[in-house]
Each structure stands twice: as structure tokens, then as C-alpha cells.
Amino acid sequence: MSEEKVIKLGAKRDKKIEKSEQEHEHTHDDLVYCSFCHRPNTQVLKMVQGPGVNICSECAMIAVQYLILNDRMPSAEAQQILDAFWGKAR
């Protein structure tokens, strides 16, 4: 069982994507770049694709840490989000 390196948000909900496009999206030869640090998916742990934007796992963690340290999100709530995310990733 191989783990996907590029995770596309909403892909399961979008039923209008043709089968050939789905097969093309899952090829490992396609490069996807982080919209923040511009590193390709081959140089990061994970990449999340959104509508017109991508973020690597490292940039996502920097953003979460920034929000926690600057009290933009209550610490208890942030911890619940992190626990839910990392609990599913294991």
C-alpha cells in the first residue's frame, strides 16, 4: 500500500472529473509546487492541493505555529486540530 505524496482537497467530492484525468493526477512524474516556498513535491514530505493553490507540509506547520504563537487561535483548539490531523496520518 503506497502512501500518496500529493493530497488533493475535494477530489472525492468532484464527480465530474473523467477517469483519464484521475489517472493523470496520480502519476508520480507530475511535479506540484508549493505556492509559498515554491519547492516541488519531490523535495517535501507532503503536498496539499487546493483550488488554484498548493501548500507543503512544512509551510503548513509554519503557518500553524505562527497562528498558535500569535494567539490567533486558542491553544486548546489548535491542539485538537493537530491531534486530529496527526492521529489520522499514523
pLDDT tens-digit series, residues 8-36: 776 554 544 444 444 445 555 689 999 99
Q: Is the pLDDT of residue 74 over 70?
A: no
> What DSSP state is assigned to residue 28?
T
Residue 8: its pLDDT value, please? 78
Backbone angles phi, psi at 49, to 5 degrees: -100, 130
* Rg of the chain, C-alpha, whole Å: 15
pTM above threshold 0.85: no
Residue 83 dihedral angles phi and psi, to the nearest 5°: -60, -40
